[in-house]
Structure formats: structure tokens, C-alpha cells
Amino acid sequence: MNILEIKSLYKSFGKHDVLTGLDMQVPEHSVYGFVGQNGSGKTTTMKIVLGLLRANQGEVYVCGEKASYGETKTNRHIGFLPDVPEFYNFMRPMEYLSLCREITGLTNKQISKRGEDLLTLVGLADDKRKIGGFSRGMKQRLGIAQALLNNPRLLICDEPTSALDPIGRKEILDILAAVKGRTTVVFSTHVLSDVERICDQVAVLHQGKLALSGTLAEIKASHRQGGYIIEFATIEEATSYAKAALLHLKTINVEQDKGTLIVKASDTRHAGDQLISLFANLQTVPLKFEVMEPTLEGLFTEVVQ
């Protein structure tokens, strides 16, 4: 089941077209990386899903229900973490969650148990300081606890790791990976390494619509270029091997950068067998021999340029 479906979504601000027919499906219980350059329309999309912004055209469905601009009923299914969550700095974490109880309609008994569980999840159960003394990373973690308070079926996080140090980023990513079993996460970001670390599904937004979408493995497989990276101890070994490879395999292309060769071939399996046999014939052993795998960074750069 798709927890979120976006169909033919258009949004412009004046003469500036931001979304130009966006179609997107987010499977339930996935961590969905929504990737794009700054200003590509990620936050605009999330605001339309939340009913905070009116689309020019298109439809949004959350848990099968149509979302609408204004007081949309579908928000009862959604928890939201903005890029910079705001708090009352004079409050302590449990006091803040208790305040949120009045908005969500939970009972005192429910908030006591659920608040403790969520603060434990985000690593703040034993911290009794006022929120004003928290670091940005701690505030982001408290924001996740607040967003999960009402047991949402969809958790939307807008740039949750932006401006965090490496430790803070790791903490947030670990939490988002841990909540996959209880909710679906839409993780809007431009930090590609974060996406590769925790996301099941990836979508790249470019020029108002998806340029790439699917699992990371599917995207890499569909854009894989056949070839190998071979690294030798010396430039001389690499040069000698490159000459022999071109002599024996007529359908390959070889690029050399000092002691490293990049060998591209239309028939990767056959070329790989021949290249391995050539090591024995030349009585040489490479430092590295690996299949070329496309990276998310490389694919992202390819589609946005």
C-alpha cells in the first residue's frame, strides 16, 4: 500500500514554476529519501501535503484520503518535523510533550507513558534541563519525539540533518531508521550520503518533477555502466597491463590515471573473465579489481546538470 500518493502536482509562484506535474508514490513502512537541490521544490511539496499551501493543480492522497488546502483531515495521519523546530525554551522535554497533549487530544495517562517511551527513543529520557539549554541536535531529537506523539502513519522530516555536526547527524539518522517499523518516513534532504545510509526508496526532484525514483539498487542497476576499476602498485604495471588488455580484448575501452585503470566494456561478464585470465598470463597481481558501481552522487549530478 502507498501511504502517500501525489498525482500531477503543479505549483507556481508568479511566473516561477516550482512543480510541473509531480507524480510520487511512497510505500508504507519505507524510509523515502526525497532528494533535490536547494530551491527545487521539496519544501513546497511537503507544505502542499500538509495543507499549508494551495496547489495550482493536482491531487494528494494520504492513507487513501484526499488532502486539501486548509484544515485537512488527513493531517491526523501525519507527524511533521520542520528543518528548524521551535520550542518554548523555559520548558523541559516532558513539559513540552504534555503541552502538545492538549493539541493531540491524548489523555494524561497516555502522554505519561508515550512521552517516556519517545524520550527514551530519542535519547532524552534522563535529561531534565530546560530546552533553552539544548544543542540543535537535541532539539531535532525532541522534535522527532513530538512528531511521533500521536502515532502517525506518516512522518515527514524536512531537512532534519541540515547544519548538524557529524555526531548530531548520526543520532538523527539512527532514530529515523529505528522508527521504520512504526511509521513511514519521508526524508527530504540534499545530503546524499544520508539517503544512501538509511533510505529504502529514493526520488530525485528536478525541474518540478521526479528525474529518478525507485529503490537505490534499482536506480543503480538501471544506470550501471559495464566496467571495472583495476589498481596496480606502479604506473609501469598499469601501462603494460592496459596494452595487453587492448590487444586481447577488442571491444573494451581503457582509461589510465597513473596506476589505476578504468576498463569499460559492453559485455561486462565476458570482459571480466578475460581480464582475470590476463593477470595469470602476465604474472601480475593488482592491488584492486572491482566492478564499477554508480554512486547516488554521480547519478544526482547526471540528472540535475
Using one digit for the tens of pLDDT, what is the confidence trace for 271-303? 889 999 999 999 999 999 988 877 788 778 877
Q: Are 93 and 130 in contact (CB under 8 A)?
A: no
What's the pLDDT score for residue 2?
A: 92
**DSSP for residue 295:** -
Mind listing the pLDDT tens digit for each residue in 122-167? Answer: 999 888 899 999 998 999 999 999 999 888 999 999 998 887 888 8
Say what the pTM is: 0.82
Q: Enumerate residue ranges in the chain where pLDDT < 50.
A: none
- Cβ-count burial 173-210 (b if 16+ within 10 Å, e if not): bebbeebeeebbbbbbbbbbebbebbbbbbbbbbebbb
- Residue 173's SS3 state is helix
Q: Are 106 and 90 in contact (CB under 8 A)?
A: no
Q: Are 26 and 3 in contact (CB under 8 A)?
A: yes
What are the chain's domains? 2-222 (3.40.50.300), 227-293 (3.30.70)
Closest CA to 184 of 146, 218, 152: 152
Distances (CA, A) of 71 to 9, 81, 83, 249: 19, 18, 22, 66
As a whole number of angstroms, the distance between CA 148 and CA 289 comes to 46
Residue 66: how many other CB atoms lie within 10 Å: 12
Q: Provide the grid cell at 211.
A: 528525474
